[in-house]
Amino acid sequence: MLLIVAASSVGFEAGATSDIAKPSLMAFDGNWEQIDQARDEERRVAAIDRAVGSMSWLIRGFAGRVLRTSTRPPSEIKFIWDGSELQELARDESEEQYRPIRLDGHTRLAQDDNGEVSLSWHPAPQGMRLHWKQHQAHGSNVYRIEEAGDILIVEHTIQVTAISNIEPIVYQSHFMRRELPHISAAPSP
């Protein structure tokens, strides 16, 4: 399911083409906590089952278990707007790091729990798209904010390359802003 949102209410500007809007990255600032986890989980598991559905029952059982663990979205997302640049807080088992979000399409390398990952950020209709690639999979995450500005929708697309004949896994996660963005939370002068 693709959600189209009204760009004007969350600070999006018209881009160079009519079908892509350049987001005001400041709109993403804040701590976002996953909501409706049961519904999102049910849809994620169904997407995995569809992706492995044409495989033998043995491979389907093995791959399904691994994918249910490895495709789990984070329970929270944190973006920080520092006045000139948006950054994402990335967490793995050993550390936290802030990664700049630059919608320039340039590939940058990073480390996560699964090893080295290449990342590139791009504008997307009413949001931003992260393309990523690792040694066993590649995909993208599209981040969009609903009209009121308090719900973040992330559409995950994952193509597993470690096992052949797996269809792309596509599902959404929904997040609510847990606190006001840093700029909005500042006291009035």
Range 20-181 has CATH code 3.30.70.520? no
Question: Between these two residues, 131 and 163, which has the higher pLDDT value?
Answer: 131
Buried b (16+ CB within 10 A) or exposed e, 132-145: bbeeebbbbbbbbb
Mean pLDDT of the chain: 82
Confidence of residue 3 (pLDDT cuts 50, 70, 90): very low
Nearest Cα to Cα of residue 155 among 79, 43, 65: 43
Q: How far apart are the C-alpha atoms of 86 and 92, rounded to whole Å?
A: 20
- Hey, what's the torsion of the CAs at 28, 88, 123, 180, to 10 degrees? 0
Domain assignments of the chain as residue spans, ordered by start: 20-181
pTM above 0.85, yes or no: no
Q: Could you read off the pLDDT of 146-176 as tens digits, one per residue?
A: 877 889 999 999 999 988 888 999 999 999 9
Residue 97: what pLDDT?
Answer: 86
Among 11-25, 44-58, 163-177, whose mean pLDDT is lowest?
A: 11-25
Q: Is the dihedral of CA 69, 112, 142, 31 positive or negative?
A: positive
Check residue 42 and give its pLDDT.
Answer: 96
Q: What is the pLDDT of residues 118-127, one digit of tens each?
A: 999 999 988 9
Distance CA 38, CA 45 (A): 11
181: amino acid identity, one letter: P
Amino acid identity of 98? Y
